[in-house]
Amino acid sequence: MEEPTHHHLRLILFPSPLQGHINPMLQLAHILHSNSFSITILHTKLNSPDPSHHPHFTFLSLDDGLSQTESSMEEDIIELTRLINVKCVDPLRACLRKLLDDQQVSGTGERIACLISDAALYATREVAESVKLRRIVLRTGGVSSFVIFKEIPMLLEKGYLPIQESRLDEPIPEIEGFRVRDLPAMKTASVERYYQLLTSMVEETKASSGLIWNSFEELEHSALDTLCQEFSLPIFLIGPFQKYSAASSDGVRTPDQSSIAWLDKQEPKSVIYVSFGSVAAIDANQFLEIATGLADSNHPFLWVVRPDLVRGLDSECHELLPDGYIEMLGGRGHIVKWAPQQEVLKHPAVGAFWTHNGWNSTLESICGGVPMICMPFFSDQVINARYVSHIWKIGVQLEGRVEREKIVEIIKRLMTGNEGEEIRKTMCQFKEKVQVCTSAGGSSHNALQNFISFIASSSPLDLERIT
């Protein structure tokens, strides 16, 4: 049998060092590796993945030049991302030059086909061009939020941004179904820098040779149509990635497997799974309201309480729980520091996901067919939540202050009653669409085949042309 033409192609992948960005990049790496590409993962020192979880890949650490204080700025991810874009330019250039030089002399016949970098690492455009390497972008968020990011200059010009408290409920005629409160916001050192970063991300993505999304056409066709009107580059929606590769841990955090043993003991579709991702933080009062609301809901719940979930706390979060809380629950609640989320969302006992609507969590919920209670914190989460609750209608949104009574009410709304029933039905349809689109002949499956041909067919000469 003839060897696949891409058998000797190496792909260099460079994820942004945030959990929600590392996971999908590694999943993509697994998908491409299982299609005969060789994989090199470049990573920063900050949040470096554990190579022992991925023995088939080559890992190269870049000196990110971040000081200890800068690395611990995960709460201000905008400032952190901006710094990485500044500080990684030189080490990345040196690393790529070396890899390209080595391939010339190695004599193995292996060729570096391209760099696949995270959209948030917009500075990679200039670096890839300077070493004449083709650059493909992976956007780890959704298409729907990206097309709103694209409108930021317009939203600034018309005064919708930066968001003013007094205008939160004002509709935005330019974006159907959106109000001012549904626009991206962020607590960061400078909101102007935040909007500038998003605009750079959009512009430098537009200038790439191809664009991959962890999403699927059936979910985001209208945003995709909008995008294609302005972006004349090859676009590949090949997600959800998790459907191709088994849930793989990146080794940055260790999931607590007791979550699954506990779920095994619960009734079908009875459990509320609560997790706000890897970055979002709450204050002590919100923590207490959530704990009490969950207890008062009378539903079993699995709650991820990361050690850094409560802002500015020196002690363990558990110490904030009311006296006798755990005993009072009598096993009805299970609290872990980190859960095997993809497995949790596929578990038959899970009936709802109270989420911050990070894109990975949103997609994982759709893959598991689990309706959502949306409580976005910042940036694209706000847009995703609006899509989930008002456009796709696969969840309900908890708006305003976090209060125990509101929590009890929204859980009831989703878990019982007609509205919840409709939402569950719609979610089931999306889950089936995921199955179809990732099977042979489906849209994501076809897009993956197209992407593989796209990479494999580009001759080394193409690299000369992108200067």
Query: In the window 243-272, what residues touch ligand UDP (CB under 6 A)?
Result: 255
Distance CA 131, CA 83 (A): 22
Burial letters for 257-281: b for 16+ Cβ neighbours within 10 Å, e otherwise? eebbebbeebeebbbbbbbbbbbbb
Residue 339 near ligand UDP by CB under 6 A: yes
Residue nearest to ligand UDP (CB): 20
Q: Which tokens belong to 193?
A: 């820098």
Q: Is the dihedral of CA 86, 90, 96, 99 positive or negative?
A: negative
Q: Rounded to the nearest 10 degrees, what angle do helices 19-33 and 359-368 cross at?
A: 60
Residue 117 near ligand UDP by CB under 6 A: no
Q: Which is nearer to ligand UDP, 124 or 275 (CB)?
A: 275
Distance CA 81, CA 87 (A): 10
Q: Which is nearer to ligand UDP, 42 or 385 (CB)?
A: 385
Query: In the window 348-387, what residues touch ligand UDP (CB under 6 A)?
Result: 358-361, 364
Q: How far is the CB of 137 from ligand UDP (least distance, A)?
A: 17
| Member of 279, 282, 408, 447 binding ligand UDP (CB under 6 A) | 279
Query: In the window 293-322, what residues touch ligand UDP (CB under 6 A)?
Result: 304
Residue 392 near ligand UDP by CB under 6 A: no
Query: In the window 37-96, what residues touch ligand UDP (CB under 6 A)?
Result: none
Q: How far is the CB of 360 from ligand UDP (least distance, A)?
A: 3
Q: What SS3 class is residue 266? A: coil
Q: Which is nearer to ligand UDP, 40 or 47 (CB)?
A: 47
C-alpha distance from residue 3 to each of 113, 124, 440 (Å): 17, 32, 21
Q: How far is the CB of 358 from ligand UDP (least distance, A)?
A: 2
Q: Which is nearer to ligand UDP, 205 or 360 (CB)?
A: 360
Residues 188 and 78 sit within 8 Å (Cβ to Cβ): yes
Environment class of residue 440 by beta-carbon count within 10 Å: exposed (0-12), middle (13-18) or buried (19+)?
A: exposed
| Member of 9, 13, 17, 20 binding ligand UDP (CB under 6 A) | 20
Q: Is the dihedral of CA 182, 188, 193, 196 positive or negative?
A: negative
Q: Which is nearer to ligand UDP, 6 or 347 (CB)?
A: 347
C-alpha distance from residue 138 to each of 23, 187, 323 (Å): 12, 25, 47
| Member of 6, 9, 10, 19 binding ligand UDP (CB under 6 A) | 19
Q: Which is nearer to ligand UDP, 300 or 358 (CB)?
A: 358
Mark the segment that binds ligand UDP (CB under 6 A) among 66-74, 148-156, 189-197, 337-345.
Answer: 337-345
Q: Which tokens belong to 52?
A: 């022992």
Q: Which residues bind ligand UDP (CB under 6 A)?
A: 18-20, 23, 255, 275, 277-280, 304, 338-339, 341-342, 358-361, 364
